[in-house]
């Protein structure tokens, strides 16, 4: 579900507040944390180090002003992490946006794909002329 990112036709990155940026990577990470119940397990599943996973979540927390993940040390299994209500809400919102954006874009992508398939159709070799709108600056 995270590797499918390679096959998405449209990748979406949204800027919510001033510093709160959310893209496919952090969305997948939130999802993995919610499913695995652990930051380190989520990192392993996504092929990233715990340190990086933690840093990404920390960036989210800074950006949103409060934590999207609530973690605990010690205890059964050593500890764990789960999404806060805010975290779950943010993840769900991102997934909805992703679906909507992909739908909104599908037609144009299809057009582009068709253009890409065309075998070039010789274009007039004429061109040039030095009208450099605003030369140096």
Residue numbers at the binding site for a copy of itself (CB under 8 A)? 8-17, 20, 35-38, 41, 44-45, 64-66, 70, 72, 75-80, 82, 84-86, 89-90, 93-94, 96-97, 100-101, 103-105, 108-109, 111-113, 115-116, 120, 123, 127-137
Written as one string, the DSSP assignment of 20-68 is: -EE-HHHHHHHHHHHHHS-HHHHHHHHT--HHHHHHHHHHHHHHHSS-S
Cα-based distances in Å from 98 to 46, 57, 68: 19, 20, 19
Half-sphere exposure of 111 (CA within 13 A, CB side): 4
- Site membership for DNA, residue 54 (CB under 7 A): yes
Which residue, 21 or 105, has its beta carbon nearer to DNA? 21
19 binds, among a copy of itself, DNA, none (CB under 5 to 8 A by kind): none
86 binds, among a copy of itself, DNA, none (CB under 5 to 8 A by kind): a copy of itself
d(CA 65, CA 17): 10
d(CA 92, CA 80): 21
50 touches 39 (CB < 8 A): yes
Q: Which of 16, 72, 92, 108 binds DNA (CB under 7 A)?
A: 72
89 binds, among a copy of itself, DNA, none (CB under 5 to 8 A by kind): a copy of itself
- Site membership for DNA, residue 38 (CB under 7 A): yes
Interface residues with DNA (CB under 7 A) are 38-41, 47-52, 54-55, 58, 71-81, 132, 135-136
């Amino acid at each position: 579900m995270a590797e499918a990112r390679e096959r998405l036709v449209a990748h979406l990155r949204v800027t919510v507040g001033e510093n709160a940026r959310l893209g496919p990577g952090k969305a997948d990470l939130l999802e993995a944390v919610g499913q695995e119940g652990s930051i380190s397990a989520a990192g392993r599943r996504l092929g990233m180090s715990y340190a990086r996973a933690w840093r990404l979540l920390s960036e989210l927390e800074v950006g949103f002003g409060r934590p999207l993940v609530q973690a605990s040390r010690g205890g059964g299994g050593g500890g764990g992490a789960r999404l806060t209500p805010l975290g779950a809400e943010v993840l769900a919102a991102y997934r909805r946006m992703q679906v909507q954006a992909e739908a909104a874009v599908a037609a144009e992508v299809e057009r582009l794909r068709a253009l890409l398939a065309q075998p070039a159709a010789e274009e007039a070799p004429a061109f040039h002329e030095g009208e450099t709108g605003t030369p140096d600056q």
